Amino acid sequence: MKIYNTLSNKLEEFKPIEKNKVRMYICGPTVYNYIHIGNARPVVFFDVVRRYFIYLGYYVKFVSNLTDVNDKIFLQAIKENVDETHIAKKYSDAFLEDSRALNAMPADVVPRVTEYINKIKNYVEQLIEKDYAYTSGGDVYFRVTKLEEYGNLSGQKVDDLIAGSRVDINVKKENPLDFMLWKHNTDGITYKASFGDGRPGWHTECSAMIDDIFKGEVDIHGGGSELRFPHHENELAQTKAMHGRGLARIWMHN
């Protein structure tokens, strides 16, 4: 089998890390509303990929997460006049029901961010210790320019990204491209941490969960093409900084 690898921008023969086994991690939704048809695309697409591997005789460990604590969830809770946990459960249940209606096989593991807060905090602490991250005003940011490979997945150069950056000037950042690992927050659900109370950053959640569940590289990391940058680029950057290796052998985007 040949799969188009976004990282190398070419078709590559699929060779599993472990014989006859496939480790797949697919980014799931942030559960603040019902999914639309675009959100359903990766559900169907990667279900087909998974089923074909099973058909070929592989054992597939399929993991797809749910982001169940987030600023968007907080704002939706205000809009619906309920608490955040109600919003997260309501739209998590709706997403899983929609996935069943699409005849997608249930994931083997459905990690929720709220279940991995301590793992995420530990992940951030280690990046700070390695000097790849820094605290500023209660927030924690990743030092993008410290990593030479940044931009490889999305095919972009750091200098070009900075030059064409539309990111609002943030005096807390050392560099406009530095991305948030932990957001200082006093509104809604917050968690105590040595670097400041708040909530985890979106990119850090997936990296920490993959780290804990798979204990190493995955064969395939998938998601919609809109996740290629910045989400997946930032996941890869954190893993390179943390372990000096890649996050996935193949990056697959629908």
Quote the pLDDT of residue 164.
58
Least confident of 6-10, 38-42, 73-77, 164-168: 164-168
The full length of the chain comes to: 254
CATH class for the domain made up of 17-253: alpha beta
Kind and range of the H or E element at 248?
strand 248-253
Q: Which among 227, 228, 222, 218 is positioned nearest to 248, based on CA atoms?
A: 218
What token pair was written down for 234?
A: 């930032």
**Residue-averaged pLDDT of the chain:** 94
Cis peptide before 111 (omega within 30 of 0): no
Distance between CA atoms of residues 231 and 206, nearest Å: 9
* Residue 221: strand pairing partners: 25, 251
- Non-local (6+) Cβ contacts of 195 within 8 A are 124, 125, 128, 135, 138, 140, 182
Quote the pLDDT of residue 174.
92
Longest dimension (CA), the chain: 53
* Residue that the structure tokens 């069943």 belong to: 100
User: What's the pLDDT tens digit per position in 12-37?
Assistant: 999 999 999 999 999 999 999 999 99
User: 201 in helix, strand or coil?
Assistant: coil
Half-sphere exposure in the Cβ direction for 250 (13 Å, CA): 20
* Residue 134: strand pairing partners: 141
pLDDT band at residue 169, thresholds of 50, 70 and 90? low
Is residue 157 scored above 90 in pLDDT?
A: no
Kindly report the three-state secondary structure assignment for every residue of 42-96.
HHHHHHHHHHHHHHCCCEEEEEECEECCCHHHHHHHHHHCCCHHHHHHHHHHHHH
User: 134 in helix, strand or coil?
Assistant: strand
Residues 121/193, Cβ–Cβ less than 8 Å: yes
Is residue 161 scored above 80 in pLDDT?
A: no
Residues 174/166, Cβ–Cβ less than 8 Å: no
Quote the pLDDT of residue 166.
56
User: 220 in helix, strand or coil?
Assistant: strand
Least confident of 122-131, 157-166, 176-185: 157-166
Greatest mean pLDDT among 145-159, 168-182, 231-245 lies in: 231-245
Distance between CA atoms of residues 235 and 119, nearest Å: 15
Written as one letter, the residue type at 98 is D
User: What's the pLDDT tens digit per position in 186-200?
Assistant: 789 999 999 999 999
* Residue that the structure tokens 């809604």 belong to: 188
Residues 64/27, Cβ–Cβ less than 8 Å: yes
User: What's the pLDDT tens digit per position in 190-247?
Assistant: 999 999 999 999 999 999 999 999 999 999 999 999 999 999 999 999 999 999 999 9
> What single DSSP character describes residue 245?
S
